Structure 1
Amino acid sequence: MERPSSSRNIFQILDFFVTEGSDIEEEFDNSDLDPDYIESGISKRSKSTGRIRKKARFRSRSRSSSSYETDTDYSSSSDPSHPGPSKRKRKKKKTRSRPRSISVPSPGARPAPIDPDPDSDDAEMPQAPEDSEPEPEAAEDGWVRNMHNFPLPPPFPANPGIQFQVEDDFSPKKAYDLIITNDLIKFFKAETNRYAREVFAIRREKGDLKEHSRIHQWTAVKQIDIQGFLLILIHMALITKHEIEDYWSTKGIIHSPFVGKIMSRNRFQNILSMFHLCNNQHYGHDPLFKLRHMYDHLRQTFQALFVPYQNVALDETICGWRGPLRFTIYIKDKPVSRGIKLYMLTDSNSAFVFDFEVYAMESHISNRPHDVVMRLMAPL
């Protein structure tokens, strides 16, 4: 291979330098090439081919050693006019050296800054400080031009934390009474008795009341009955059993004397079948009509008892439910995958639920993330 020179075509020079995997058989002194000439050629080459190879591999080789060996092959000489042996070139196996990269500046690259000469006149010119004051028009809008003088967040004027007096003898029972108030218990009692009267009237008209049905044991509930009923429901949530009847079982392995002291099994099941939270005469086509009174009560009570700190969290959760309901959803990755979806705004420090919203698929209520956040953050 002939030694390339600067007079060769620039495209041949580039192929010689940057082709991957090419075997360079002889050393090449690149000091003869003009860098400006190479740079201009690279610019032309990049326009024509659309790419420039950034690395070239070189193989170091001594100037005195040869890249080829001569191997005599008498069988390949078939021409009688050439009686001498033919010579076949064979590449010599060489060990690859560590590849070196050649960096060529691109034509549009910005030159590196040059330190000024301390003896020159430009070195004595004062430099503007980095943390200079922002311009007046920028500061008025709340925007600044540097990161050393950015505006601080607005002050947090709220008084976060518990908004009621905590006494020394404060107990979980008193915390429960703050949420489930006497007014709410009275409402449950009134609506449960109203619904029981409606059911009895309908069944008497249809004539489907069986003689030995336990519904004949029904009597109007009182406030203490509703309180005991809710207490048993909380107990069932903490201690689960296979059947409701097992909580009143007298067998030693599953015996629970707690619920039997509050009320009998038939009384509990009668209240469970008649327990009601609304007046059916004022339906109003509200998907949350059955829970509307308690739903609004809980939201107002949570906001009155506690004010969150500056950091809050808003996320969705699933309340497990597998019964027939129009807005039941399924989310695979949730711990409870099927049920009613709720958006909850909680305090990041105490995990207290400040507000929540049920996803009821109402057409007049937007469920876009921005709208949900603005609705739940409105009280704050």
Structure 2
Amino acid sequence: MLRRARGRTVDEALHELFLSSDSDVEPSVSSDSDEEGLWTPARARVQNETAPDVSGGASASVDEYVAEHADIDVANEAQPADVRDSSSSSSTSGTESDDDEQASERSHVHIQEQLAAGDDGSEGQWKMEENQPLQDSFTAQPGIKVPVPENAEPYHYFCLFFTLQFWQLLCTETNRFAQQYLNAHRDTLPARSRFRKWVDVSVQEMKVFFALFLLMGFIWKPEIDLYWNRNPLIFTPLFPASMKRDRWMCIASFLHFANNEDETARTDKLRKIRPLITFFQDKFQTVYIPYKHISIDEELVPWKGRLDFRQFIPSKRARFGVKIYALCESSGYMSNFFVYVGRDDHAYQPGLVEKVGKSGAVVVHLLDPLFLDKGYNVYIDNFYSSIELAEYLETRKTGVCGTIRKNRRGLPKRLVNLKLKKRGSFAYRTMGSKLFVKLSDTKEVYFLTNLFKPNVIATNKRDRTRKRVHKLNLVHQYNQYMGGVDRNDALLSYYSALRKSMKWYKKIGAHFIEEALLNSYILYKKSKSMPHHEYVISVLSALLADGTGPAAADDVAVANPAPADAAGPVPTTPVVPAAAAAATATPATPATPATARGLVVSSRLGGRKGHYPAPVPASCGKPEGKSQRRCVVCSHNGVRKMVTICCLDCVDMPGLCATPCFRIYHTCEKF
């Protein structure tokens, strides 16, 4: 089939281009050059038959990678012969003749030699040959590094991150701030202010407080007060049964993570949440070591108020907020992070910014010291990638793969300025172990890696014609492992309890608490299968049971029963410093979750003390005493029985037979 190129056929254009070659280019072409730089239809067919099958997901842009031979306009400016097709099987309306194929091959070889002869000094380091990727062995020991009970429940994994030290830190700093506030505002507080009834919070109360807070991510209401509203349309009996509204509001108002009077931290912009950040950074890295493939990206916690280090990222949904750099496994587990507070070169190692740049210093800062020199493969986007970073990570036995901006220093300019006509075509250059690729997709994409060769593989995806989709191996691997931070963001967004707040540190602190809860779920899923929402419900049920049960022996003096509005000066509670508490505290053994059929059972156990039978409340037009409910004990044992008696003192007001189900329900954890 003949095609027109500026008024000439393809054969005429190729013949004229071949005869008009420069005299300093040798007409003969070695077999090595042909094997390394030429992509022919014959070789495409061979590679299609021998290409390995690789399964895996891909992003929306690369999933549409068209398996079609590159359509290069030979009458236009010369283009290198390593512009390769991402597919070995093209679905065209006609077939080219053998003469056209041979002429095209001669033209590609001639153009490649012409470019090679015309390279300037800066291009000389980049070659048209295959690279030798890094082959460093993986020496880390991934997996959970703390003891976990056999047949552990979700609450045991939750307690891996939320230890007694965490709860004591929150109680200590919250009580300290409450006393500081009340001492400073005693004369100005209204007479009926809820703050005048403040008593110091205990560990158990703090557990109930956060259980209700996280539950708000499941049961969303526009105002906090509505969770305690008794309107039948929106009534949620669990909230008033677990904690009074004014008490929850008081704890939320005084919630604190650090000592305001610590003069040594005045220059730290994150001093309000520094103890919490330090605690979770240590827990995320010591509880679990990730596997070989990790990724680095940024998160954005929404915040539109006044804040010195508030960022604007138009590509994020929230746009305004606090930026957090995160290192995640492909599963979404967050292993390391730090909050960006503005330009501060002193936050990195001395001389690191000069070596790899500011964005590269972020990568090294997150990797050091846990992930460097151990053979990890890190995947990044074009904000971080650079030649200097790839060279530095290579010296630290760490592989890197990521997109890169075309204006980075040291890239081959001839290849950057090359125009790839056909979507799916690509061109590459190599320098040592590094591979630079220009790919034509919906837009031009640039990759830099020291982990892969420029080979094309067959995936398990198929196009509209039911043919296998082919793509670059580095693109396939990048799509498979780069999405760790995005997956983390997605899982957090499903049941997030974050709300607008007047204090930025409370919102950031709540974000990290949700991150720890998500990390515990990811670790649980590595051993057992459970939907995300069921896991969170199970954890919150056990947390409420643990918080409303009998006081634990290790719940030390963090509560003062004396009311704040008593006569005389406000008493000061003895506060144990966080460092001393951490040194003397022993790891808490997580309690067995007291749950049955997904119901909170803390309010029903302990015999019949405080629980009395009562008629089922009026509902569905039936008066009290005639309304019926199923007996939960009988239903659990496969018997359908309707009763008119229930227990109004239990959270869920279950229907129960007068005997023996009422006694069984209030004395047996499992029935």
Work out whether the TM-score is over 0.5: yes
* 1:161 has 2:143 as partner: yes
Structure 1 residues 101-141: Cα deviation after superposition (integer angstroms, max 9, x where no partner): 552333333223599xxxxxxxxxxxxxxxxxxxxxxxxxx
State the distance in 2 between where 1:321 and 1:362 align. 19
State the distance in 1 between where 2:29 and 2:209 align. 81
State the distance in 1 between where 2:292 and 2:325 align. 19
Matched position secondary structure for 2:272? helix
Shift of the 245–155 alpha-carbon distance from structure 1 to 2, 3 Å rule, reads same
Shift of the 109–56 alpha-carbon distance from structure 1 to 2, 3 Å rule, reads farther
| Letter matched to residue 105 of structure 1 | S
What residue is the counterpart of 1:375 in the other structure?
365
State the distance in 2 between where 1:233 and 1:325 align. 25
What residue is the counterpart of 1:357 in the other structure?
338
* 1:242 has 2:222 as partner: yes
* 1:279 has 2:259 as partner: yes
Matched position secondary structure for 1:224? helix
Structure 1 residues 308-353: Cα deviation after superposition (integer angstroms, max 9, x where no partner): 11111000110122333211111111122211100000112x2210
* 1:232 has 2:147 as partner: no
Shift of the 147–166 alpha-carbon distance from structure 1 to 2, 3 Å rule, reads farther
Q: Following TM superposition, by how much is the alpha carbon of 1:182 offset from its aligned partner in structure 2, in angstroms?
A: 0.6
Structure 1 residues 70-120: Cα deviation after superposition (integer angstroms, max 9, x where no partner): xxxxxxxxxxxxxxxxxxxxxxxxxxx9995552333333223599xxxxx
State the distance in 1 between where 2:284 and 2:201 align. 28
State the distance in 2 between where 1:252 and 1:226 align. 28
Matched position secondary structure for 2:347? coil
Residue in structure 1 matching 2:280, options 285, 298, 309 = 298
Does the CA-based 8 Å contact 2:194-2:250 persist in structure 1? yes
Does the CA-based 8 Å contact 2:302-2:318 persist in structure 1? yes
Structure 1 residues 156-207: Cα deviation after superposition (integer angstroms, max 9, x where no partner): 0111122233434322222221111111111211111111111111112xx2
Q: Following TM superposition, by how much is the alpha carbon of 1:56 offset from its aligned partner in structure 2, in angstroms?
A: 8.3
Give runs of aligned pairs for residues 57-76 of structure 1, distance below 5 A: none
Shift of the 170–322 alpha-carbon distance from structure 1 to 2, 3 Å rule, reads farther
State the distance in 2 between where 1:258 and 1:249 align. 11
Give runs of aligned pairs for residues 138-153 of structure 1, distance below 5 A: 150=132, 153=135
What residue is the counterpart of 2:162 in the other structure?
180
What residue is the counterpart of 2:188 in the other structure?
208
Shift of the 191–113 alpha-carbon distance from structure 1 to 2, 3 Å rule, reads closer
Shift of the 166–146 alpha-carbon distance from structure 1 to 2, 3 Å rule, reads farther
* 1:263 has 2:243 as partner: yes
State the distance in 1 between where 2:347 and 2:323 align. 15
State the distance in 1 between where 2:231 and 2:6 align. 84
Shift of the 185–98 alpha-carbon distance from structure 1 to 2, 3 Å rule, reads closer
State the distance in 2 between where 1:234 and 1:241 align. 13
State the distance in 2 between where 1:114 and 1:351 align. 49
Residue in structure 1 matching 2:152, options 170, 193, 196 = 170
Shift of the 99–203 alpha-carbon distance from structure 1 to 2, 3 Å rule, reads closer
| Letter matched to residue 265 of structure 1 | R
State the distance in 1 between where 2:146 and 2:364 align. 27
What residue is the counterpart of 1:112 in the other structure?
28
Q: Following TM superposition, by how much is the alpha carbon of 1:149 offset from its aligned partner in structure 2, in angstroms?
A: 10
What residue is the counterpart of 1:74 in the other structure?
none
What residue is the counterpart of 2:123 in the other structure?
none
State the distance in 2 between where 1:162 and 1:298 align. 16
What 5-or-longer segments of structure 2 have no aligned partner?
A: 32-126, 372-671
Does the CA-based 8 Å contact 2:148-2:156 persist in structure 1? no
State the distance in 2 between where 1:377 and 1:98 align. 53
Structure 1 residues 21-71: Cα deviation after superposition (integer angstroms, max 9, x where no partner): xxxxxxxxxxxxxxxxxxxxxxxxxxxxxxxxx9886xxxxxxxxxxxxxx
Q: Following TM superposition, by how much is the alpha carbon of 1:212 offset from its aligned partner in structure 2, in angstroms?
A: 1.4
| Letter matched to residue 289 of structure 1 | R
Worse overlay, 97-106 or 354-363: 97-106
| Letter matched to residue 353 of structure 1 | M
Q: Following TM superposition, by how much is the alpha carbon of 1:239 offset from its aligned partner in structure 2, in angstroms?
A: 2.4
* 1:327 has 2:317 as partner: no
Q: Following TM superposition, by how much is the alpha carbon of 1:275 offset from its aligned partner in structure 2, in angstroms?
A: 1.1
Matched position secondary structure for 1:209? coil
State the distance in 1 between where 2:248 and 2:202 align. 13
State the distance in 2 between where 1:306 and 1:185 align. 21
The TM-score with structure 1 as length reference comes to 0.62
State the distance in 1 between where 2:6 and 2:243 align. 87
Does the CA-based 8 Å contact 1:320-1:338 persist in structure 2? yes
* Aligned length in residues: 256
What residue is the counterpart of 1:312 in the other structure?
294
Give runs of aligned pairs for residues 77-156 of structure 1, distance below 5 A: 100-101=12-13, 103=16, 104-106=19-21, 107-112=23-28, 150=132, 153-156=135-138
Shift of the 112–277 alpha-carbon distance from structure 1 to 2, 3 Å rule, reads same
Structure 1 residues 245-268: Cα deviation after superposition (integer angstroms, max 9, x where no partner): 011111222221222222000000
Q: Following TM superposition, by how much is the alpha carbon of 1:152 offset from its aligned partner in structure 2, in angstroms?
A: 5.4
Shift of the 297–99 alpha-carbon distance from structure 1 to 2, 3 Å rule, reads closer
| Letter matched to residue 337 of structure 1 | R
Structure 1 residues 267-303: Cα deviation after superposition (integer angstroms, max 9, x where no partner): 0001111111111111422101010001000000000
State the distance in 2 between where 1:211 and 1:113 align. 95
What residue is the counterpart of 1:124 in the other structure?
none
Shift of the 98–295 alpha-carbon distance from structure 1 to 2, 3 Å rule, reads closer
What residue is the counterpart of 2:460 in the other structure?
none
Does the CA-based 8 Å contact 1:56-1:99 persist in structure 2? no
